[in-house]
């Protein structure tokens, strides 16, 4: 028996740092949206009682750092299923870009293994396991868009209108989250950016780490967009558009300019995963 799921990326349409806890974790308030840039998680039951994981194309992520493996191991140890699983992870969402690909993959793995192993877990129960894996993981199991608060563990549906299409630009370099937060803590005062419409308090820190981000944001902002933003701690940037035609025109213009990095038009999704049906 086998099944497969799409694991969607996310955009932080806003990200405000609201404080810092005694344990060092930052608290935040963020409007988060699932979008249709996706990885795929393929699951196949195997007779050997073990977890096998293969990442394509040719990614070598140690198992202890791979959230998909950790998700499978978490359910495996808790429920001791009779069958093992072979997991093939097809990656398309860029790493280190603030798009949440690893967290999304983990959420999709939890949903898929719940069905593959017949565990019968509710969404609330799956969310409790997701919270053990990372702050972003529960979002991908619930409704989108959503308000994310606390350290990412408090979620509620967001009754807001969101633009119908976004142009995402991922520069050819990552912005490691721990480094961005370290630099944020060293800033003398908060200076949100990159635009008033899509506020992100981590923007100044990301610029300190990667000053060339400003050039990419300016290139993206040349189009008549509704605004330009940065997702998560970067390096991914996005521009919002009111319709497909203007977004496609902006994409063509940036391609003609030979802008470095990856460009992708994305649209909102109502949740962070979907089953792939035969």
CA distance 275 to 170: 26
Output Rg (C-alpha) for the chain, integer angstroms. Answer: 19
Which tens digits make up the pLDDT trace of 12-51? 999 999 998 888 788 999 999 999 999 999 999 999 889 9
Contacting residues for 11 by C-beta, under 8 A, at least 6 apart: 32, 33, 35, 99, 166, 168, 229, 231, 236, 238, 266
Alpha helices in 177-243 (DSSP H): 177-186, 203-209, 213-220
Task: Give residue 13's pLDDT.
Answer: 98
Residue 208 scores a pLDDT above 90: yes
Instruction: Provide the 8-state DSSP code for 143.
Output: B
Task: Give residue 14's pLDDT.
Answer: 97
Which tens digits make up the pLDDT trace of 233-246? 999 999 999 999 99
Q: Quick check: 2 and 126 in contact, CB under 8 A? A: no
Is 136 a catalytic site residue? yes
Is 10 a catalytic site residue? yes
- Residue range 201-228: average pLDDT? 94
Q: CATH for 2-157?
A: 3.30.230.10
Strand order of the β-sheet with 237-241 is: 227-230, 237-241, 165-170, 262-266
Enumerate long-range contacts of 94-97, CB under 8 Å, 24 or more apart. 94/170, 94/236, 94/262, 95/174, 96/174, 96/175, 96/176, 96/235, 97/170, 97/174, 97/175, 97/231, 97/232, 97/234, 97/235, 97/236
- Residue range 51-56: average pLDDT? 92
- Residue range 198-203: average pLDDT? 96
Task: Give residue 21's pLDDT.
Answer: 86
Task: Give residue 16's pLDDT.
Answer: 95
Which tens digits make up the pLDDT trace of 100-134? 999 999 999 999 999 999 999 999 999 999 999 99
Task: Give residue 278's pLDDT.
Answer: 62
Task: Give residue 222's pLDDT.
Answer: 87
Q: Quick check: 273 and 105 in contact, CB under 8 A? A: no
Do the domains at 2-157 and 165-269 have one common CATH topology? no
CA distance 239 to 89: 28
- Terminal C-alpha separation, the chain: 13
Task: Give residue 23's pLDDT.
Answer: 83
Assign 137 a pLDDT band (cuts: 50, 70, 90). Answer: very high
Which tens digits make up the pLDDT trace of 255-274? 999 999 999 999 999 999 99
Which tens digits make up the pLDDT trace of 142-177? 999 999 999 888 999 999 999 999 999 999 999 999
Structure tokens belonging to residue 26:
């930052």
SS3 101: helix
Residue of 39, 91, 105, 136 marked active site:
136
Residue of 10, 39, 91, 201 marked active site:
10
Domain 165-269 has CATH 3.30.70.890: yes
pTM of the model: 0.95
Where do the domains of the chain lie? Answer: 2-157, 165-269
CA distance 17 to 28: 4
């Amino acid at each position: 028996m086998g099944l497969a799921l799409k694991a969607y990326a996310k955009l932080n349409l806003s990200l405000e740092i609201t404080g810092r806890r005694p344990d060092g974790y930052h608290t935040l308030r963020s409007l988060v949206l699932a979008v249709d840039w996706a990885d795929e998680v393929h699951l196949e039951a195997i007779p050997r009682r073990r977890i096998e994981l293969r990442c394509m194309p040719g990614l070598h992520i140690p198992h202890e750092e791979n959230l998909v493996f950790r998700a499978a191991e978490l359910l495996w140890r808790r429920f001791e299923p009779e069958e093992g699983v072979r997991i093939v992870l097809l990656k398309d969402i860029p790493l280190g870009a603030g798009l949440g690909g690893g967290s999304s993959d983990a959420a999709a793995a939890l949903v898929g293994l719940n069905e593959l192993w017949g565990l019968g877990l509710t969404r609330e129960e799956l969310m409790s396991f997701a919270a053990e894996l990372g702050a972003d993981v529960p979002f991908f199991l619930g409704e989108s868009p959503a308000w994310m608060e606390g350290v990412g563990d408090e979620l509620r549906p967001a009754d807001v209108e969101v633009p119908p299409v976004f142009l995402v630009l991922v520069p050819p370099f990552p912005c490691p989250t721990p480094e961005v937060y370290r630099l944020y803590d060293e800033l003398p005062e908060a200076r949100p950016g990159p635009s008033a419409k899509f506020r992100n308090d981590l923007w100044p820190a990301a610029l300190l780490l990667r000053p060339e981000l400003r050039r990419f944001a300016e290139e993206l902002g040349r189009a008549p967009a509704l605004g330009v933003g940065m997702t998560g701690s970067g390096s991914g940037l996005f521009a919002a558009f009111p319709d497909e035609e203007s977004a496609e025109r902006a994409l063509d213009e940036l391609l003609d300019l030979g802008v470095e990095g990856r460009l992708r038009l994305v649209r909102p999704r109502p949740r962070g995963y979907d089953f792939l049906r035969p």
